[in-house]
Amino acid sequence: MNRMKLELSERIRKCAQMVTEGSRLADVGTDHAYLPVYLVSSGKIPCALAMDINEGPLERARDHIASFGLEDKISTRRSDGLGELAPGEADSVSVCGMGGALTIRILEEGSGVLESIPELILQPQSEVFRVRLWLYDHGFTIDDEDMVLEDGKYYPILHCIHAAAGEKQNLTGAEAYYGPVLLRKKHPILRQFLLYEQEVQEKILAQLANASARTASARKEEVRAVLRRNREVLDGMRE
């Protein structure tokens, strides 16, 4: 267990914190099964299913599971997304470390089984705003979020549940891009990200100053829009 703690990244540790105690976890795109092994070996959950589309990652997962003697509590399954997960097999689904478009595809194609899943833990690597918008358009709500800075990259982590029957929520632009809960918490890592984003966009704007008006005009306005949104959010976080 101590060895596992040392090996676990902060990003995966934060994902693990989002999983409800006692859940049966289905970890999609499991790779080495770090998340299931950590959660089961720590006693937070009783069992898990480690799923991946490729046999190579599943072999690595089996080796890792075996090294902790957890073969009776964590099973592996080859599956494209949630395609091989049956309703009622899991209480929690994690989709971590994938691009936003792939995360959305997995959720869309698995929408049938997701109806029986109480919670989702998502950690998209890109296009996070698209994932948040998809969730709210498909009957989910984000009830908790966290964010970590690891190896120079910013990782938001979403805990999602089904919205109450008849409840329709909409995200503002800022909430879609930066996270409704992260904004509400005035999360310190989000503030770091906003300052970083501001610096990046200002550099892009400076580079565009020498470009021809025809090619740069639309791009300049896009960058200015990001900077306006960024500054408004930063001002709100200072209040």
Query: Same domain for 161 and 197?
Result: no
Any domain includes 184? no
Q: What is residue 153's DSSP assignment?
A: E
Q: What's the rounded Cα separation, in Å, for the pair 183 and 3?
A: 35
| pLDDT above 60 (res 6) | no
In one-letter notation, the amino acid at residue 209 is A
Domain containing residue 133: CATH number: 3.40.50.150
150: tokens are 């690891």
Query: Same domain for 124 and 12?
Result: yes
Give 1's pLDDT tier (boundaries 50, 70, 90). very low
pLDDT of res. 218: 84
Domain of residue 210: give its range.
190-238
Any domain includes 121? yes
Per the structure, how many domains does the chain have?
A: 2
Nearest to 209 by CA among 115, 217, 57: 217
pLDDT averaged over the chain? 92
Query: Same domain for 120 and 207?
Result: no
- Assess contact for 104 and 133: CB atoms under 8 A: no
Any domain includes 174? no
Q: What percent of the chain has pLDDT over 90?
A: 84
Q: What is the pTM of this model?
A: 0.92
Give 169's pLDDT tier (boundaries 50, 70, 90). confident
pLDDT digits (tens, 9 = 90+) for 134-165: 999 999 999 999 999 999 999 999 999 999 87
